[in-house]
Amino acid sequence: MRFYTIAISLGVLTAVASSQVVVPSSVATTRPTLSPFYTSNVFYSTTSTTTAPASRSQTIVECADVGGAQTWNSISLRRPVGLGNSNPAITTTATLVLSVSSNAPGASTTTFATNHGAMTQTVISGSISLPAATNPTTWPAPWVPSFPFSAPYMYVPATGGSLVIDLTQVQAAGATSWYVEYTTPDNGGRAGNGSAPSTCKFNDGKYNSGLSYTTAGLNPAGGLWYASYNGLLPNVVGVVAISVYGVDNKGTWPIPLDLAGVGAPGCFFNVGLEIGFVAVMTASASGSARTPNVMIPPGFGGKAFYDQTLWIDPAANALGLVTGWSSKWLIGTGAGAPAAFVYATGNSHMNATGVRVVGASPTWQLQ
């Protein structure tokens, strides 16, 4: 009987040999591109004198995505690729706690304490530093130097459970947040459909230089969508055309259509000519116009539509038309990382609860 007990112990030790894992696992090979593909909520900071340069965050990842039993001695993360600003060098006082919850990420709550489970261990308690970093030119960005654990963490997965990575960090002096790579749930969003219309100008030399919009209706459940176009010729009249075809999904349409040949040099029409919806708009005296509200029904997750504006300006060119912004509007599927992210920043970082986003996760490397 005594020999049997020793054999089992040796088996467990073998199973938890040191390993390296990236979570969520998809970002080991695929760059996160859905917006936002970065987060400031892991290493949040601010120059405000009334807001604490501090944050608490929990990354809760399905054990099935992490893999089998293993031992880790450090953790690292990396900067997003495609975010234009630079990250400053920061030093922060950090407390990192790991545990294994019996619950799946979808069963997590906004309460930090209830998300923890077995094998809770504080692996970092003290000062850590992150280097200054510019925008990387290619993905993936290099991992920052690893933060060593005070003692190894022996991870043993729970069936149907989650790994919990709980970081609290408090900086002595505020600065700009240190942004990290982040996977976002697919709740829909906007992408460009052709280039900005800076070469297609009104008679006053301006072009449709601004765009604002709501993405509230682009989630899988549907809802309201509209777009506003700014920098227009004051009081100009135009139309917005909506199509299921754009420059990355042409169908049989030869788009983008270069309108130089019909008298509008520098102007392009970027959507298919079977138009699913057209609305007439008149710009304000300040040069702004908005589409009517469009209600998107549920059940269209994974689909996309495209819009293009045309403005009537006889003095602009021989055609008398100026094209404006064209966008691709993606309706979300709701899919995301097999994870959840809970965070609280600034003066709320010591609160018992935070904001919870299911399907979201910063990128971590444990080794």
At 308-357, the pLDDT tens digits run 999 999 999 999 999 999 999 999 998 999 999 999 999 999 999 999 99
DSSP 331: P
Q: 3: helix, coil or strand?
A: helix
At 101-155, the pLDDT tens digits run 999 999 999 999 999 999 999 999 999 999 999 999 999 999 999 999 999 999 9
The answer, yes or no, to whether the previous bond of 24 is cis (omega within 30 of 0) is yes
Q: Give strand pairing partners of 306.
A: 243, 328
Given a contact cutoff of 8 angstroms between Cβ atoms, the answer to whether 132 and 189 are in contact is no
Give kind and range of the element (H or E) at residue 2: helix 2-15
At 258-294, the pLDDT tens digits run 999 999 999 999 999 887 778 999 999 999 999 999 9
CA distance 144 to 131: 7
CA distances from residue 227 to 68, 113, 187, 188, 302 in whole angstroms, order as listed: 47, 41, 17, 15, 20
At 17-68, the pLDDT tens digits run 678 999 999 999 999 988 899 999 999 999 999 999 999 999 999 999 999 9
Q: What percent of the chain has pLDDT over 90?
A: 88
User: Model-level pTM?
Assistant: 0.76
Q: Give strand pairing partners of 365.
A: 22, 76
In the prediction, which pLDDT does 273 show?
A: 85
Residues whose CB falls within 8 Å of the CB of residue 27, separated by 6 or more in sequence, listed in order: 140, 181, 183, 363
Residues whose CB falls within 8 Å of the CB of residue 269, separated by 6 or more in sequence, listed in order: 255, 256, 257, 259, 308, 310, 323, 326
Averaged pLDDT, 90-100: 98
**String of DSSP letters for 229-272:** EESPPTT-EEEEEEES-BTTB-TT---SEEGGGGT-TT-EE-S-
